[in-house]
Structure 1
Amino acid sequence: MKDKLNLFSFKGKYRILHLTWFAFFMTFVVWLSLGPMMPFIQQALSLSEQQAKVLLILNVAMTIPARIVVGMLVDKFGPKIMFSSILVLGGLVSIAFSWMQSYEQLALLRFLSGFIGAGFVVGIRMISEWFPAKQTGAAQGIYGGWGNFGSAGAAMLLPFIASSFGEIDGWRYAIIIASVLAIGYGIFYYFNVTNTPKGSTYFKPKKIGAMEVSSYSDLVLYILMNIPLYLSLSLLTWKLSPEKMNIISSNMEFSVYIVFAFVFVFQVFKTWTVNAQHLKNSIPKQYQYKFKQVAILDWAYLVTFGTELAVVSVLAMFYVDWFELPKITAALLAGVYPFINLFARPGGGYLSDKYGRKITLVVLFFGITLSFLTLSNVDKSWSIHLVVVLTIVGGIFSKAGSGAVFAMVPLIQRRLTGQIAGMAGAFGNVGAVLFLTANSLVDYDEFFMLIGMVSSLVLALIIIFLEEPKGHMTEILDDGTVEIIKLN
């Protein structure tokens, strides 16, 4: 009898799916609580517009390296302890943030809290352990789509809670309540899940500190693929510099660049040491994979998730600036965008399971490209109804694309799933930084044009170089026996 997804079940793997997407949901409530709370914080502490913008930037900065590190740790220690730890520690940091009094304290704690956004990576490994390849796309899509809705949950609930407590300290109580709930759920999660189904083995990488690759050419590509991560962090630093927001001094800016250069050199050294002996020996076939698959999925997620974060950030102002809609109306129309995640991301994963990983990505990226290139031709004479429909269509394609990307991520190399997911997740944040920075420098039509152009380039990479996962993966159990994991 064919095993069909039964989302109304709360037994076995479905229980793990529901518990895990809600864990992801809670991390996003805590992490992205800053956006809806910012008007309250700004008023209560008399922050300038510039100071508020800097806090929003700092909120995402740490997430980029954190997703890489958490990806390594989850492969080593397992998703059970990692998700629980992120929820508990993230909640404690968020509570500390809520009681800070000076702007400097707020900025430091908000920067540190960025690691909470890395929780997404943990669930990718957990779901891949519990669901077979033929269902992993739909399951990962539900996990990502429903968990991502935590941002909407924060936006809908926290302002109401803050208002009920009063204008001065209401934001503090709202954040504390969300954080306490996250801590409680983190403890609950630890005692109610296991890393794998009973009798299954949790495969770990031989070494931690860098991803194991299968050839010297893959090693070079892996090193090169880390450069965009440092460039995006440098871009954030530049936005804080005297040339832009004038939040940090020139000396501080230069010092940060030096630190980034030092860390990159150290990472290259660590990557080489992890892989040197590994590559000298004959690599068993079951441990071989093509890193180009990882690289293409990284760039694909840069487009899909980067577009999602960037567009949802600017959509309301786009409607106001270009079509002179009332702010409330614009906010309501823009609020449709996050809701798309509830069905679009699972839909992208489901289509990948049913019709194939590569063909689904090709179709969805064609849709992203066409949607945003069309939006780049919008002018102020266009019907607002048509423009809203176009933005929703673009959102459906981009969010379904995110689901399709992570339908394939767990099928590259099982024991490295956390690291592969971490790198792809980090590239998603890089995309958000890239597109939001572009939005601050150009007009909306050029912003949409950039998304369409980058999407078209990634579409070409997918068509030419991406390979459909076929056959099976094999892993060696601790007792030396071989486990076969079917991919299609």
Structure 2
Amino acid sequence: MKKSTSAKATKFNLRDLKSVPIRTFWITALAFFLCFFAWFGVVPFMPDVVRDLGMTPGQKWNSVVLAVTGTVFARLLIGKLCDKYGPRLCYTWLLVLGAIPVILTGFVQTPFQFLMCRLFTGFIGASFVITQVHTSLMFSSNVVGTANATSAGWGNLGGGANRLGMPIIAAIVIGFGAAETEAWRYSLIIAGILCFSMGLVYYFFTQDTPEGNFKDLAETGDVPKIKKDQEGFLTALKDYRVWILFIVYASCFGIELTVYGTMDDYLQNTFQLERITAGNIVLSFALMNIFARTLGGLFGDKFGKSKGLRGRVLFLSFILVVQGVMLASFSSISTLYLAIGFLILFSLSVQMAEGATFSVVPFINKKAIGSISGIVGAGGNVGAFLAAMLLKFKSAASERAAIAATEGLGEEAIKSAQAVAASQAVSEGYLLIGLIVVTTGIVALGIRFSVKDEKVAREELKESYGNAAPANA
């Protein structure tokens, strides 16, 4: 296994495209971006979808739940498959097969067909797990946190870039003569075709490890054949540290998804902003993925260098507490500019927490990186589901009470009372979620590594720096 370690990239030089790890980084980050772009691509068009298909508010909400539900199961499965077959084949098939429901969404005629497409489209959310596995296999311990965080952050941009990208695609389609009412359908078909094409790129231009593909290496004897894949998965399931990280990722990525999905309405109801203005603020929040996740992985690597594996955990715990405090503080602010300041700090800290989480994951069990990444990644979607349900029920109850209290006072009065009630309910929800995140940060301190693990990590770190090229190379 020494050969495998020494062949990993020890520097995160993004301009070195001749390097297999760096080339893989760019391709896997782009694939992840396209998957998230297609996964959330329908969001900008939901008013059109609801109108065209005659969907009820309940069916609209169910489409959101189903998209997240599909991802949970896909992430659990794909990590196990990565350990067995390698990330290259897993990503190829995910992109090719995942493109099908995206394309079919452009042809749906009923709410049921749309819901089924959303369920299966959610499977491409498992792309995150493969991205983390692939960069973990390509980069050495001194930079693996930075590589994981950056690839994930840049891939996550796809979930925000579609707010601009999909309407642009729709405008181009309309420019070529398509009916405006059909533009959302053509846009999703194009997004699916892009994913399918990326699957072909992944197959022909990447490999599983710096030395080659799993299958070829197993045949030559350079790596042992994986005959106990199920045992590795079960071992991951039994490791309490994996479940702490599951909760941790639910408390950072899951909360980011929920806040991102509810912030538009919250800003409008609380500060009386126009929808476009609120949307632009939320979009800027998402665009912080360009650098914020990377900072989390970078600091994780820095603390790992100075304080060992325990240092990575200490930083993760710290940044989670900061995230929780920022969200709880934001929930009680009624001044717009101060609220935006705390929202920026929350955005920075939550994305750094995501990066810090996957600076710890590769060191839990190197024989089951895929399985562990899948379990932890699924935690993010579980967290998003639970947080969304909390806010939904609190808001729904408050709005019903407001409508009942203002019955007979006129439509404007009812809408105003409903907006105030929704704002107050979501504010209380954010406060509760923030306190839960702070508690999670304390729980994260329970992640422990043995003396042997620390020793191995120090030796790998020493070897990484020993193999690193000179700074001016």
**TM-score of Structure 1 vs Structure 2, range by shorter chain:** 0.7 to 0.9
Corresponding residue of 1:383: 335
Matched, 1:440 2:402: no
Residue 325 of structure 2 aligns with an amino acid whose one-letter code is L
Q: Counterparts of 2:84 and 2:446 in 1: how far apart (Å)?
A: 34
Corresponding residue of 1:173: 186
Residue 159 of structure 1 aligns with an amino acid whose one-letter code is P
Change in 2 beyond 3 A, CA 1:465/1:186: closer
**Which range moved further: 49-58 or 305-314?**
49-58
Contact 1:320/1:330 (8 A) holds in 2: yes
RMSD (Å), alpha carbons? 2.3
Corresponding residue of 1:458: 440
Which of 87, 103, 107 lines up with 2:115 in the alignment? 107
1:473, distance to aligned residue in structure 2 (A) = 6.7
1:53, distance to aligned residue in structure 2 (A) = 2.0
Which of 313, 329, 332 lines up with 1:374 in the alignment? 329
Give CA deviations for 1:51-92 in whole Å, capped at 9, x if unaligned.
222222211111111110111111111100110111111112
Change in 2 beyond 3 A, CA 1:420/1:9: same
What is the SS of the residue equivalent to 1:472?
helix
Change in 2 beyond 3 A, CA 1:304/1:205: farther
1:361, distance to aligned residue in structure 2 (A) = 0.7
Corresponding residue of 1:351: 299
Q: Counterparts of 2:10 and 2:88 in 1: how far apart (Å)?
A: 26
Give CA deviations for 1:152-205 in whole Å, capped at 9, x if unaligned.
222211122224343221111101111111111110110001101126756675
Give CA deviations for 1:73-119 in whole Å, capped at 9, x if unaligned.
11111100110111111112211221121222121222122211111
Matched, 1:190 2:211: no
**Which range moved further: 445-454 or 429-438?**
445-454
Q: Counterparts of 1:87 and 1:306 in 2: how far apart (Å)?
A: 23
Change in 2 beyond 3 A, CA 1:292/1:203: farther
Corresponding residue of 2:401: none
Please list every run of 5 or more consecutive structure 1 residues that lacks an aligned counterpart in the other structure. 223-290, 475-483
Change in 2 beyond 3 A, CA 1:82/1:302: same
Matched, 1:417 2:369: yes
Corresponding residue of 1:43: 51
Q: Counterparts of 2:116 and 2:233 in 1: how far apart (Å)?
A: 34
1:486, distance to aligned residue in structure 2 (A) = 4.9
Residue 384 of structure 2 aligns with an amino acid whose one-letter code is A
Q: Counterparts of 1:408 and 1:463 in 2: how far apart (Å)?
A: 12
Contact 2:321/2:442 (8 A) holds in 1: no
Corresponding residue of 2:240: 292
Residue 254 of structure 2 aligns with an amino acid whose one-letter code is G
1:146, distance to aligned residue in structure 2 (A) = 0.2
Matched, 1:322 2:270: yes
1:376, distance to aligned residue in structure 2 (A) = 3.3
Q: Counterparts of 2:449 and 2:270 in 1: how far apart (Å)?
A: 42
Q: State how 1:108-127 maps to structure 2 within 5 Å.
A: 108-127=116-135
Matched, 1:472 2:424: no
Change in 2 beyond 3 A, CA 1:4/1:209: closer
1:296, distance to aligned residue in structure 2 (A) = 1.6
Please list every run of 5 or more consecutive structure 2 residues that lacks an aligned counterpart in the other structure. 1-8, 305-311, 395-424, 465-473
Number of residue equivalences: 402
1:429, distance to aligned residue in structure 2 (A) = 0.4
Which of 338, 341, 346 lines up with 2:286 in the alignment? 338
Contact 1:83/1:119 (8 A) holds in 2: yes
Task: Using structure 1 for the length normalisation, give the TM-score.
Answer: 0.78
Q: Counterparts of 1:202 and 1:486 in 2: how far apart (Å)?
A: 21
Change in 2 beyond 3 A, CA 1:150/1:103: same
Q: Counterparts of 1:437 and 1:56 in 2: how far apart (Å)?
A: 11
What is the SS of the residue equivalent to 1:133?
coil
Q: Counterparts of 2:156 and 2:132 in 1: how far apart (Å)?
A: 13
1:485, distance to aligned residue in structure 2 (A) = 5.0
Change in 2 beyond 3 A, CA 1:324/1:104: same
Contact 1:44/1:169 (8 A) holds in 2: no
Q: Which structure's residues are more often helix, by fraction? A: 2
Contact 1:67/1:121 (8 A) holds in 2: yes
Task: Using structure 2 for the length normalisation, give the TM-score.
Answer: 0.80
Contact 1:33/1:175 (8 A) holds in 2: yes
